[in-house]
Amino acid sequence: MTKPLLEVRDLRVEFPTRRGTLTAVDGVSFAIAPGEVLGVVGESGAGKSLTGAAIIGLLEPPGRIAAGEILLDGVRIDNLPHDAMRRIRGRRIGAIFQDPLTSLDPLYSVGRQIIETIRTHLDLGDAAARRRAIELLGEVGIPAAGQRIDHYPHQFSGGMRQRVVIALAICAQPQLVIADEPTTALDVSIQAQIIALLRRLGRDHGTAVMLVTHDMGVIAETADRVAVMYAGRIVEIGPVAGVIRAPKHPYTAGLMGSIPSVVDDRERLVQIDGTMPRLTAIPPGCAFHPRCPHVFDRCRRERPELLDAGATRAACWLHAPGAREPSLGSRSTKVGS
């Protein structure tokens, strides 16, 4: 891999509460290369959105980064002063949120919001910023951008608004865009368009994308690499083809088994028994062991770190040197009960 654009090392996000400290993200490490699309997948509460929020420095208090480092282009950004971090947001790291219906200020025209963002980050006059805003709206696929620029958010449909949000995220040509569930709130037909748009923009501008989602299908279509999160930790990370075709962690295998496929002729989808533990009750050892079909003694005692497992890296004792060779399910074999 080339020199990473973003590097996250041992990130730990904590929420102090009255009944003790909750660790929502625990020892997460990964890197994103320039122009790369990293998918981050997991159930709600797995810590994937919080990881994104921590990177752009927008954790909601009382949440805080308790340990670890975040580096952008080799420079630490997790301990920057407020104003320096603000200049990175939007300029070098763009963000896209889940709900396009509520992401835009209802009282300003979309053009004004784009121009405002452009002028915050780039040294452009009002007229130049407006021309650029119209270009951007055209680029994200809004027809008649020259007229639409003066319209208000409520005059756009959900899919169109998400396009505006994307235009806002890329308007200062950031090196990285963090897209937090960008398609979850949209119609399935529009989801595909938005994903295609994100992919095209990433390619055209060389923008790296961290795509946070719980939708494996979106990841499979878009990402170069994928990180699977479970209970605040990355359990598997690797090239998307490897993770999807030959998952090495039982949890990933379970996720893959739960995706409907038009190719395979299966009667029932597989589901993983049980639910993800709450942050207050993460089991000792491997957090997944109570639900794991391959559980053995060591899983209950020790927590596995990420271990090399063929093309990917998985946090599972099955891949420890000397362990019995695992035979996990993939898309075509059955997993679990």
Partner 1 sequence: MIRRLLQAIVVMLVVAFVAFSLFQYVGDPVQLMMGQFATPADRIRLTHELGLDQPFYVQFFHFVVNALHGQFGVSLRIGKPVSVLLAQRLPATLELSICAALLALAVGIPAGVYAGLRPNSWLARTAMSASLVGVSLPTFLIGILLILVFAVKLGWLPAFGRGDVVHLGGWSTGLLTRTGLESLIMPTITLGLFQLTLIMRLVRSEMLEVLRADYIKFARARGLSDRAVNFGHALRNTLVPVITITGLQLGSIIAFSIITEQVFQWPGMGLLFVQAVSYADIPVMAAYLCLIALVFVVINLIVDLLYFVVDPRLRVDRPGAAGH
Q: Give the interface with partner 1 as residue ranges (CB under 8 A).
A: 56, 58, 86-91, 94-95, 97, 99, 102-109, 116-117, 120-121, 143-144, 148, 151-152, 154-157, 160, 165, 168-169, 172
Contact present, 113 and 119 (Cβ < 8 Å): no
Task: Report the side by side order of strands in the sheet with 312-314.
Answer: 93-96, 176-180, 208-213, 37-41, 225-230, 233-239, 312-314, 307-309
Q: Closest approach of Cβ 213 to partner 1, in Å?
A: 18
Q: Which is nearer to partner 1, 171 or 270 (CB)?
A: 171
Least CB distance to partner 1 at residue 117 (A): 5
The least distance separating partner 1 from the CB of residue 126, rounded to whole angstroms, comes to 15
Cβ nearer to partner 1, comparing 86 with 278: 86
* Phi and psi, residue 208, nearest 5°: -80, 150
3-state secondary structure labels for all residues of 286-329: CCCHHHCCCCCHHHHHCCCCCEEECCEEECCHHHCCCCCCCCCC
> Shortest approach of partner 1 to residue 282 CB, angstroms?
27
Q: Return the structure tokens found at 43.
A: 């159930």
Contacts of 80 (CB under 8 A, 6+ apart): 57, 88
Q: How far is the CB of 207 from partner 1 (least distance, A)?
A: 15
| Least distance between partner 1 and beta carbon 317 (Å) | 39
**Closest CB to partner 1 among residues 104, 253:** 104
Query: Which CB, 65 or 306, lies closer to partner 1?
Result: 65
Q: Two tokens at 183?
A: 């398609």
Nearest CA-CA partner of 175 in 226, 134, 210: 210
The answer to whether 20 and 63 are in contact (CB under 8 A) is no
Task: Kindly report the number of other CB atoms within 10 A of residue 127's CB atom.
Answer: 9
Minimum CB separation from partner 1 for residue 264, in Å?
Answer: 39
Q: Cβ 16 to partner 1, closest distance in Å?
A: 15
What's the CA gap between 21 and 187, in Å, rounded? 38
Q: In the complex with partner 1, which residue's Cβ is closer, 111 or 285?
A: 111
**Closest CB to partner 1 among residues 160, 227:** 160
How far is residue 265's CA from residue 177's CA, in Å, rounded to a whole number? 37
Nearest CA to 64 among 114, 24, 107, 18? 24
Pick between residue 68 and residue 90 the one whose CB is nearest to partner 1: 90
- Nearer to partner 1 by Cβ, of 92 and 225: the residue is 92
* Residue 263 zone, left/alpha/beta (φ > 0; ψ -120 to 50; rest): alpha
